[in-house]
Amino acid sequence: MRKNTPKPGWISEQLCVQTARTCNLFCVYCQNPPTGVSAPKEKTAALIRKKGIKAVSLEGGGEPTAGADFFDWLKTLKAAGVSNFMLSTNAVALSDPDFCRKAEKAVDYFTVNFPSSDPGTYRKATRSVKFDMAVKGLENLKALGAEDKIRLFHIIFKDNYRLLPAFADWVIKTLPGLAFVNFTFVRNAGRVGDSAEIVPRYSEVEPFLKVALAKLKLKKIKAVVQNVPLCRLKNFEGFSFEFQRWRRGDRILEAGIAGKAKNPACGRCTLEPACCGARADYLKIHGNKELVPSAKDPGTLAAEAF
Ligand code: SF4
Ligand code: SF4
């Protein structure tokens, strides 16, 4: 089996800062909904100064750009020594060209939560009529020459998985120069509330996801899959984010992500060390019948470009 040499901090040692306290969308699958409270600004800046942190990710608890103090946050963190910013956003606020221009100057990467290129599905996902604004936000970034700063974050849920191939076509046509697409299987957390109406089965999603990945790969567009067990990515394992983390010697699951549940299939599987497994919250809805132990050596699997 391949030797897994740790390379600490390969993904980055960025600090996640919850600058948001509200959101301008109301996604059905929101896993970390707003609470009305953001991180304390001055305390956060002091911590950053003390630890010498240079990179932050503005994410969690809502939409950072929905707060009137968004640029004040950037200014405060910059003054504390931060030189690299990643912004997790739904891109709605970026539909304003002036706002977008100002944000683009300050931010290195935009992780854009964009659940569908189909307006009706987007409406169902976000319970909003802001599809055109989100698309405009993406177009504005592209017009500023920042297409390569866009990381599309596509949460796979019950209403959009059949459209995954069409979504890949849309990316190819609209944003071929983006940084990458992250397909993340919805987690049963936050607003999801154990709903089988929101969380599909891995096996239902699998064929559509594989077609989407193949389409993007053929056009040399990078893509990665998060929170899907390796046995449901057969022959596409190299797209797994957690597998790539394992290969690079990082922890399989990011900090703050609930761990994989124990189950008999995983106990008999050689892919287990490199696999995100299934979470207890998934098993609660759909059980463990879809998990299939493998005898493959994860060290022999090739990673896809990411
Ligand atoms: S998923 Fe993101 S954009 Fe959607 S409601 Fe939650 S914080 Fe807002
Ligand atoms: S059986 Fe378990 S460990 Fe093996 S690939 Fe499936 S989920 Fe991962």
**CATH T-level topology, domain 15-226:** TIM Barrel (3.20.20)
Proximal ligand: closest to the CA of 154:
1
Yes or no: say if 152 and 226 are a contact pair by the CB < 8 Å rule.
no
d(CA 185, CA 190): 14
The torsion angles phi and psi of 33, rounded to 5 degrees, stand at -65, 160
pLDDT at position 3 is 37
In testing the pocket of ligand 1, which one of 19, 30, 111, 186 has its CB within 8 Å of the most ligand atoms? 30
- Position in ligand 1 atom list of the atom nearest CA 26: 5
State the closest ligand 1 atom to the C-alpha of 190, by its place in the atom list counted from 1. 6
Backbone angles phi, psi at 70, to 5 degrees: -55, -50
Cα separation, 214 vs 165, in Å, equals: 9
Quick check: CB of 230 below 6 Å from ligand 2? yes
Torsion angle defined by CA atoms of residues 198, 199, 203 and 206, in that order, rounded to the nearest 10 degrees: 70
Which pLDDT does position 257 carry in this prediction?
A: 80
Ligand closest to Cα of 122 equals: 1
Given this model, what pLDDT does residue 76 score? 98
Mean pLDDT rounded to a whole number for the chain: 94
For ligand 1, the distance from its centroid to the CA atom of residue 151, given in whole angstroms, is 16
Going from N- to C-terminal start, the domains of the chain cover: 15-226
Question: Residue 206 is inside which H or E element, if any?
Answer: helix 202-218
Closest CA to 290 of 236, 240, 234, 246: 234
Residue nearest (by alpha carbon) to ligand 1 atom 2:
62
Span from the CA of 268 to the centroid of ligand 2 (angstroms): 9
pTM score: 0.93
pLDDT per residue as tens digits for the range 65-77 = 999 999 999 999 9
Strands (E), 103-238: 109-113, 150-156, 180-185, 223-226
Burial class (CB in 10 A: 0-12, 13-18, 19+), 178: buried
pLDDT < 70 positions in the chain:
1-13
Express each pLDDT in 118-129 by its tens digit. Answer: 999 999 999 999
| Residues 134, 91 contacting (CB under 8 angstroms) | yes
**CA 7 to centroid of ligand 2, rounded, Å:** 24
Ligand 1 within 6 A of 90 CB? yes
Alpha-carbon dihedral sign for residues 10, 14, 16, 20: negative
d(CA 170, CA 254): 29
Residue 145's contacts (CB-CB under 8 Å, 6 or more residues apart) are none
